[in-house]
Amino acid sequence: MAGAASSPRLPSAKPLAIVGAVCLAAVAAALVSQHFFDMQPCPWCVLQRLIFVAIAIVCLLGAALRVGAARIAAASLALLLAIAGIAAALWQHFKAAASASCNLTLADKIISGLQLDSALPDVFAPRASCADAAVSLFGVPYDFWSLALFVLCAIAALSTLRRRA
């Protein structure tokens, strides 16, 4: 149809679905580390779990909806959450891990304020200090693995937003 205006293209659901699945896999890996390898989480670790779960929910909802505006909103919110995750991972590595206690920090207040530590203690209860939780996997600190995944989530969200523009 020559001359017909093309309708705006619906952003692809695939990147959002992949980001959601990867974030859930990251939380599953953290739970395996905790429950099978005794790598107990600190409040900042738990906050990052919460952010990964939030990104997963937002992305999977955005992928499920067949409305372009919903997918754009999901990608935008995922980007903001990924930036928050980047900040949390950096704070954990450079500030919190150097302190003997991370009790009553912002992360601790958020988790206890949402009552996630009592509602789902096996997932969201901090069980170690930030210094004790500073462990590595293949020589890379856990918080840097988390940081890398948050950066990838941000890139995927930006990619989804750019495709729409």
**152 in any annotated domain:** yes
Q: The CATH number of the domain where 60 resides is what?
A: 1.20.1550.10
Angle between helices 142-164 and 14-37 (to 10 degrees): 170
Lowest mean pLDDT among 62-71, 79-88, 99-108, 129-138: 99-108
Question: Looking at the domain assignment, is residue 125 inside a domain?
Answer: yes
- The answer to the question of residue 61 being in a domain is yes
DSSP 76-101: HHHHHHHHHHHHHHHHHHHTGGGSS-
Domain holding 104, by residue range, is 14-164
pLDDT tens, position by position, 96-152: 877 766 666 889 899 999 999 999 999 999 988 877 777 788 888 889 999 999 999
